[in-house]
């Protein structure tokens, strides 16, 4: 596709459930980023992939959060034992090489934990 694609666009789950959020970056972009944006706030960095490996996962809030990018393209953000405080918009971005190049953002997945 032409841009970064994120699915689903909305996800409603119950407290304690497991969720997976998918990001399909722009073709050829080697760098992929996950951010979390709470209502009325700016995006908060979670994790950065360069190719298949996580180059910086220091933004993941705790061990309930995990992300993979097994083939260096599509990435999945996984959240175990969801909590109401996990409710936010999860944004994915991709770029050609690191953040010195332009990061292109997807529209995000709005996660609601009831």
Partner 1 sequence: TQLLEQSPQFLSIQEGENLTVYCNSSSVFSSLQWYRQEPGEGPVLLVTVVTGGEVKKLKRLTFQFGDARKDSSLHITAAQPGDTGLYLCAGVETSGSRLTFGEGTQLTVNP
Binding site for partner 1 (CB under 8 A): 4, 31, 33, 35, 40-45, 48, 55-56, 59, 91, 93, 98-100, 102-103, 105-108
Paired tokens of 1 = 């596709």
Nearer to partner 1, 30 or 76 (CB): 30
Smallest distance, partner 1 to C-beta of residue 19, A: 19
CA torsion through residues 10, 103, 26, 98, sign: negative
Within 10 angstroms of residue 98's Cβ, the number of other Cβ atoms is 13
Beta-bridged to residue 19, according to DSSP, are 79
The answer to whether the peptide bond before residue 16 is cis (omega within 30 degrees of 0) is no
Smallest distance, partner 1 to C-beta of residue 102, A: 5
Smallest distance, partner 1 to C-beta of residue 103, A: 7
């Amino acid at each position: 596709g032409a841009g970064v694609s994120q699915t689903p666009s909305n996800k409603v789950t119950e407290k304690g459930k497991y969720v997976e959020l998918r990001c399909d970056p722009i073709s050829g972009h080697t760098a992929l980023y996950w951010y979390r944006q709470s209502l009325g706030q700016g995006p908060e960095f979670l994790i950065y992939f360069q190719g298949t490996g996580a180059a910086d996962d220091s933004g993941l809030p705790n061990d309930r959060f995990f992300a993979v990018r097994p083939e260096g393209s599509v990435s999945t953000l996984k959240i175990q034992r969801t909590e109401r405080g996990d409710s936010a918009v999860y944004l994915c971005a991709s770029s050609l090489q690191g953040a010195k190049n332009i990061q292109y953002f997807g529209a995000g997945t709005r996660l609601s934990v009831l």
